[in-house]
Structure 1
Amino acid sequence: MSLDTVKNATETPDASQPWKELGLKEDEYARIREILGRRPTGAELAMYSVMWSEHCSYKSSKVHLKQFGEKAPENTAMLVGIGENAGVVDVGQGYAVTFKVESHNHPSYIEPYQGAATGIGGIVRDILAMGARPVAVVDPLRFGAADHPDTKRVLPGVVAGIGGYGNCLGLPNIGGEVVFDACYQGNPLVNAGCIGVMKHEDIHLAKASGPGNKVILYGARTGGDGIGGVSVLASETFDDSKPTKRPAVQVGDPFQEKLLIECTLEIFKEKLVAGIQDLGGAGLSCATSELASAGSGGMRVELDTVPLRDATLSPEEILMSESQERMCAIVEPQHVDRFLEICEKWDVIATVIGEVTEGERLEIFWHGEQIVDVPPGTVAHEGPVYNRPYARPEWQDALQADDAGKLPRPQTSEELRAQVLALVSSPNQASKSWVTDQYDRFVQGNTVLSQPEDAGMVRIDEDTNLGVAMATDGNGRFAKLDPYTGAQLALAEAYRNVAATGAKPLAISDCLNFGSPEDPGVMWQFAEATRGLADGCLELGTPVTGGNVSLYNQTGDIAIHPTPVVAVLGVIDDVNRRTPMAFAEAGQLLYLLGDTAAEFGGSAWSQVVHDHLGGMPPKVDLGREKLLGEILISGSRDGMIDAAHDLSDGGVIQALTESCLRGGNGARIVVPEGLDAFTFLFSESAGRAIVSVPRSEELRFTDMCGARGLPATRIGVVDGEEIEIQGEFTLPLAELREAHEATIPALLA
């Protein structure tokens, strides 16, 4: 086939083009022709198709995401916000921390190992591109029903991919979630997050400025894996009834990425780059257009100089390939030789593929023939913006009216005990050690808290013990009942988890996982969740620094539960002051902080015991969440709290189970006045935590809570080798441990 050049495209305006097959709509193709004043070349069409895909352009979500800027809280620690590879916050002592969460959902369903592995690789490069050394990863995961045969295919592959790639990079996996629900059966959610650390002066941005500066592609060779990859795959609904675009999933090489990381950090240290971008979704199409668009000039690229693994690749395929472990740097001419020298030292292939130009065009050539001549902004940042119709689903009222509070409750102490055992051994509440034991959580030697703690925590300065914590949370069941409240509950829980460790929450990243935006009901869920998150962040003072939207998580007409996943980053001055969740010392007093109401909508109890989803989720009081956080942080800093565990899925009994098993000590518990045992144990009211307080600190702690107006109820003492709910039942820790730890291995055997 002859090369489709710009000259040829001008001379053959009526030539047939596969715009529909590449995922473009008819009006989008027409707009491209209008922008260019002619039909696009094949290479231009390839670039627009991947960059205007849902995954890359956010065309259905932009109108709602702008709230994160419009409602952003003032006087925050944010240094770099939405629009860059990752957000950056000031954590003190001259340090900046960059963090982000992204999705690799669709590729991980097709090819679980590589899909999940390259999800880790991609998010790590986003962090690296900001100028930071990656120091930890997290992995919020959601799978179909735990006993479904396909879960046995997807889950082990995903976990092996995350562990294999992250372990090879030498990055501790310090947090995340594993959730099972039938709604994720054909659309597992594989979200991946990373934290990186740098000094303020080392922050780098993705822009190409300075005419004559060279464009250097370095890292792995470009191959045919992942052509269209996540950019196309994540922009269409899976549907078994018709052909679907399922391109090859990217193939990762963590050892190549490790070399790339160390090479890049040395390049940063010598201040050799003027701009940098990783190659992830949309590959070279993204890197070249975004760098040029964000800079002050144009760019000329000689595409035939790109190092290839497959010499048969066409220009279009090279531009669309999402091969992993690649970066693109803008380098001043006097630094090029040293840049290439460092790459050679690390055995990293580096090639000058172009230069920054005076003009305002992105021009790409293939063996001397021009195949791309576009305004880069129209590719990278000025794609379609859809204000899609949205409407509250007709079934929403009936769902909320189906109150979980009317479900049959246990009538005897024996029934109550049996339901406790059923809850703590259910797949969502059972121990996830089968998963987390496959991850290296302590490599690098700076991990101070990791799964199953409320939040992961790493030390970032070995002299001062400055540290950061991160927690990820999201309850799709709550969001299905009420997307606005569900998003705020996800934010509140992650905020609470970070505060429970003694760290001060600073900022968030999010990964918004929803069904098809072409469904008005799904768009209503998205609009409500986004509004809830923006309002919540404004009230808590935690800005959104960036994140990801994953749409089309849907099989046919069946969408996943709306699942906004929120990652909260916090800072702690001294990691030695951290608060673990384990009840480690007998005789300490247990206090329940916050108010408990009969709130069971979307609860773990309603799911496990009755397979029910209905009613309203727990109420949110973000002012109370903020107060609770202040108490937890102050109590940790001043030595008044020895252990803390937030209350969320499963309520008090789940938290008691986890903290007792973690510390190897039992607890004697008294049901507070005004509450029945069932409500006390299973309610999922928000804004609560359980803390263990040394007897010597009880008065000081209760005085602090009283002075600040936070309810603090003494519910028991750490003691013995069983959990005793006085007047109801006892559960030996050995029996609890067996129930809690046996479930996941048995399901995956």
Structure 2
Amino acid sequence: MSGGVRPESGAAKAVALGLTEAEYDGIVDRLEREPNQVELAMFSLMWSEHCAYKHSKKLLRTLPTEGPRLVLGPGENAGAVDVGDGWSVAFKVESHNHPSAVEPFQGAATGVGGILRDVFAIGARPIAVLDSLRFGEPTSERSRYLLDHAVAGIGHYGNSIGVATVGGEVYFEAPYEQNCLVNAMCVGLVRTEALIRSAAAGVGNQLVLFGASTGRDGIGGASVLASAELGEADDDKRPTVQIGDPFEEKKLLECSLELLDRGLLVALQDLGAAGLTSSSSEMASKGGVGLEIDVRKVPLREPGMAPFEIMVSESQERMLCVCEPANVEAVLEVCARWEVGGTVIGEITDTRRMVIRDGGEVVGDMPVEALVDDCPLYDLEPARPAAPLYAAPAVTLAAADADDPSAALLALLGSPNIASRRALFEQYDALVGSRTVRRPETADAAVLLMPHGSAIAVSIDGSGRRVAADPYRGAVEAVLECAANLACVGAEPLGLTNCLNFGNPEKPHIAWQLTEAVRGLGDACRALDVPVVGGNVSLYNEGGGGPIYPTPVVGMVGELPDPLHAGRTGFAREGDAIAVAGPLRPSLAASELAKLRGDALPDALAEIDVAAVRAAHGAIRDAVRAGRLSSAHDVAEGGVLVAVAECCLAGDLGALLELGDDAGDLVTRLFGEGAGGFVVSGPADALRALADRVPVEVIGRVEGGSLRVTLDGEDRVALELARLRAAHGALAELFA
């Protein structure tokens, strides 16, 4: 083979590219020779953690992936579930953590662009985006900078391309100081028969690259950054962060959907991490075929790019498709009309080899199986840590104030993890597309109208601090919390996607966190009969400051028959009874109040009766669908009293809670957290009917313009809504 230069120190170069010496030896064995520059670059990306999932794939195989409404499961660009009348909803969540830690605006923006392409790569039109963000404490100048620019990047891309950003979450914890998390979820809509897969097929069929031209931006970006810990020289990695153009992506989206609508394509794949290398080789692997690619035919943004640079560039807004020779002209005509520069760069072969040419010269020749399917997978060596991994948080609420319900409530409402996110989501267009029935802070989940008159609900959730305390139960709670959000709007879960954000899996304590969390996710999904349709793993999220909190983020899609009955968070009518429903067993362990008090993380969280929680979800869901409840809001961060306060603020109505003389530990009852609790309001007879299916405790009624809590007739909390709203708006100061 010509064009290859035998490396003088191939193993050293491999290690510099993120491989181990043993992995380099494995490549040599598979090729029966040493790889040249092009081949080594391609192997280094395809065998990276980001592309190969070499430390997590065995765990992911334990997750449940079957369900009656499942249409497309793991292994494709996005999963899909059936929502009736011939329609499917496609969805997926992915991370862009490491690029965002280096360049937050472009890192977050291209994270949105990448997840959009995953969805329209299977033929679905993106209709909504959600984001899940984690940063260090907002007292840190670095964290405020990352937050501000990441939010701006998300808004820039989503608003420009015209896809509604309908929900999300953001949390602030010290362990995310060096490694922020930026996870983006996209939801798309497609006629079920129009779904397309990415498997290349048909010997002699043509490989067409279309979209933006290829440049050096993003070389080794997501795939390399996401496979190593970040250090002090992060600024040196800025050139590896991709640059996004949402207007180019809009053309790419419309071009892709027209090509599919006209039946011109055999397969379609987006170019994400590892660029042309991963997109082409994965298509070949799935189709059981070979490919030949001529890098000289790839349109370049920068002159003089070497073959290896062309193959590994992560330049954004590019797609790769397979079409029959007879359809090439039509495909290129559609590309020209949308101004996305379609070019034939190769063809399908029967060799099961990836052959890379530079004009007439072969510069790479590898078995597809070696490149994609035969990456070594590693067994983790989990060990529960003998000592706490994370320092106790700083004390921000004095002990006396923590015991005073009024002071504690105001502190919690103004705390970074509970304060209103309005300053963030107002930077996003939540209504574009005219499908949004429930938008941020009006309901626990976003609700989107479907073409046939029903609706879907979508939510994204996770709590790193609670998973850090107990990886198994914390992960179970994340799934239950997401399902609870859907129940509050009347939706039944159809499928789940997840993004597993963890530290270095080669360390036994991180391996233990990851193993236990995946076990928790799997058990919770099986208990709810919800399949995992796909997702993403982001490892090595740690640096000099130690690992992040283990953060499995869960995104869920559910269905509700009548959008007119979608539930709301806010109290709606004076005189409605207020109740706590569900098997809530409040505890201050790992709670938001415990954080404000500076409490260290506990060794474990309380046991969860998942069957009872599921029953509560069903009862709340049915009551919302029937229109019997005026409002429904799950008890989450801050406990029951924070949930009641949020209902007051969302509905601009006050509440009187009368707890009697048997309140027990009042602070725990008001601010304790746990799975399975809901604050609901409605007519007294509706709450009595709900009590036939789930534990219900009537605690007060909707009235006035203040929140009052009485204990044995004595006021323990008496705060005007204006004061609650002022405390709840504390996060806006970060964007002043």
TM-score, normalised by the number of residues in structure 2: 0.95
Find 2:295's aligned residue among 295, 303, 310: 303
Find 1:135's aligned residue among 121, 124, 127: 127
Aligned-residue identity in percent: 42
* Distance apart, 1:247 and its partner CA: 4.5
Equivalent runs, 1:301-700 vs 2, <5 Å: 301-395=293-387, 415-452=404-441, 453-461=443-451, 464-556=452-544, 558-610=546-598, 612-671=600-659, 673-693=662-682, 695=683, 698-700=684-686
Output the CA distance in 2 between the equivalents of 1:332 and 1:596: 59
Q: Deviations over 1:212-245 (max 9, x none)?
A: 1110000000011000001000110112389986
The one-letter amino acid paired with 2:355 is E
582-591 vs 521-530, which moves further? 582-591
Q: Counterpart of 2:137 in 1: which secondary structure?
A: coil
- Conserved? CA contact 1:666–1:720, under 8 Å: yes
The one-letter amino acid paired with 2:614 is K
Q: Counterpart of 2:363 in 1: which secondary structure?
A: strand
User: Residues 34 and 247 from structure 1, CA distance in 2 versus in 1: closer, same or farther, beyond 3 angstroms?
Assistant: farther
Q: Counterpart of 2:583 in 1: which secondary structure?
A: coil
Output the CA distance in 2 between the equivalents of 1:733 and 1:96: 43
Find 2:77's aligned residue among 61, 71, 85: 85
The one-letter amino acid paired with 1:45 is L
| 2:21 aligned partner | 26
Output the CA distance in 1 between the equivalents of 2:412 and 2:78: 38
Output the CA distance in 2 between the equivalents of 1:124 and 1:60: 26
Q: Counterpart of 1:195 in 2: which secondary structure?
A: strand
Find 1:705's aligned residue among 668, 685, 691: 691
571-580 vs 228-237, which moves further? 571-580
* Distance apart, 1:399 and its partner CA: 8.7
Q: Counterpart of 1:134 in 2: which secondary structure?
A: strand
Output the CA distance in 2 between the equivalents of 1:268 and 1:211: 20
Output the CA distance in 1 between the equivalents of 2:257 and 2:614: 38
- Conserved? CA contact 2:92–2:119, under 8 Å: yes
Q: Is 1:148 matched up with 2:140? A: yes
- Conserved? CA contact 1:289–1:377, under 8 Å: no
User: Residues 388 and 242 from structure 1, CA distance in 2 versus in 1: closer, same or farther, beyond 3 angstroms?
Assistant: farther
- Conserved? CA contact 2:583–2:613, under 8 Å: no
* Distance apart, 1:675 and its partner CA: 3.9
- Conserved? CA contact 2:355–2:364, under 8 Å: yes
Q: Counterpart of 2:148 in 1: which secondary structure?
A: helix
Output the CA distance in 2 between the equivalents of 1:412 and 1:465: 48
Output the CA distance in 2 between the equivalents of 1:578 and 1:50: 45
Find 1:49's aligned residue among 40, 44, 52: 44
448-457 vs 92-101, which moves further? 448-457
Q: Counterpart of 1:582 in 2: which secondary structure?
A: coil
* Distance apart, 1:624 and its partner CA: 1.7
448-457 vs 547-556, which moves further? 448-457
User: Residues 345 and 243 from structure 1, CA distance in 2 versus in 1: closer, same or farther, beyond 3 angstroms?
Assistant: closer
Output the CA distance in 1 between the equivalents of 2:439 and 2:402: 38
Q: Deviations over 1:464-514 (max 9, x none)?
A: 422111111111111111100110011110110111111111111001101
The one-letter amino acid paired with 2:278 is C
Q: Counterpart of 2:629 in 1: which secondary structure?
A: coil
The one-letter amino acid paired with 1:100 is K
Find 1:66's aligned residue among 52, 61, 66: 61
Output the CA distance in 1 between the equivalents of 2:180 and 2:143: 9
Output the CA distance in 2 between the equivalents of 1:109 and 1:67: 31
* Distance apart, 1:676 and its partner CA: 3.9
Q: Counterpart of 1:729 in 2: which secondary structure?
A: strand
- Conserved? CA contact 1:454–1:497, under 8 Å: yes
| 1:3 aligned partner | none
Q: Is 1:292 matched up with 2:284? A: yes
Q: Is 1:745 matched up with 2:732? A: yes
- Conserved? CA contact 1:140–1:190, under 8 Å: yes
Q: Deviations over 1:282-315 (max 9, x none)?
A: 0000011001111132111111100010012111
Output the CA distance in 1 between the equivalents of 2:648 and 2:410: 15
669-678 vs 192-201, which moves further? 669-678
Q: Counterpart of 1:201 in 2: which secondary structure?
A: helix
| 2:705 aligned partner | 721
* Distance apart, 1:345 and its partner CA: 1.1
Output the CA distance in 2 between the equivalents of 1:425 and 1:56: 40
251-260 vs 419-428, which moves further? 419-428
The one-letter amino acid paired with 1:746 is E
User: Residues 12 and 229 from structure 1, CA distance in 2 versus in 1: closer, same or farther, beyond 3 angstroms?
Assistant: closer
- Conserved? CA contact 1:55–1:232, under 8 Å: yes
The one-letter amino acid paired with 1:640 is R
User: Residues 598 and 495 from structure 1, CA distance in 2 versus in 1: closer, same or farther, beyond 3 angstroms?
Assistant: closer
Output the CA distance in 2 between the equivalents of 1:608 and 1:653: 16
Please list every run of 5 or more consecutive structure 1 residues that lacks an aligned counterpart in the other structure.
1-5
The one-letter amino acid paired with 1:7 is S
Output the CA distance in 2 between the equivalents of 1:290 and 1:277: 9
* Distance apart, 1:699 and its partner CA: 2.6
* Distance apart, 1:433 and its partner CA: 0.8
Output the CA distance in 2 between the equivalents of 1:242 and 1:508: 33
The one-letter amino acid paired with 1:677 is L
267-276 vs 112-121, which moves further? 267-276
* Distance apart, 1:620 and its partner CA: 2.1
Output the CA distance in 1 between the equivalents of 2:123 and 2:233: 46
* Distance apart, 1:609 and its partner CA: 3.1
User: Residues 381 and 278 from structure 1, CA distance in 2 versus in 1: closer, same or farther, beyond 3 angstroms?
Assistant: same
Q: Counterpart of 1:430 in 2: which secondary structure?
A: coil
- Conserved? CA contact 1:228–1:247, under 8 Å: no
Please list every run of 5 or more consecutive structure 2 residues that lacks an aligned counterpart in the other structure.
none
Q: Deviations over 1:576-630 (max 9, x none)?
A: 1100111122121112102343411110011123354335334322212211111
The one-letter amino acid paired with 1:712 is V
User: Residues 242 and 322 from structure 1, CA distance in 2 versus in 1: closer, same or farther, beyond 3 angstroms?
Assistant: closer
- Conserved? CA contact 1:13–1:38, under 8 Å: no
* Number of residue-to-residue matches in the alignment: 727
The one-letter amino acid paired with 1:577 is H
User: Residues 143 and 399 from structure 1, CA distance in 2 versus in 1: closer, same or farther, beyond 3 angstroms?
Assistant: closer
User: Residues 669 and 615 from structure 1, CA distance in 2 versus in 1: closer, same or farther, beyond 3 angstroms?
Assistant: farther
Equivalent runs, 1:161-180 vs 2, <5 Å: 161-180=153-172
Output the CA distance in 1 between the equivalents of 2:652 and 2:275: 50
CA RMSD of the aligned region, Å? 2.2
Q: Is 1:159 matched up with 2:154? A: no
Q: Counterpart of 1:19 in 2: which secondary structure?
A: helix
- Conserved? CA contact 2:67–2:531, under 8 Å: no
Q: Is 1:103 matched up with 2:92? A: no
* Distance apart, 1:338 and its partner CA: 1.2
| 2:723 aligned partner | 735
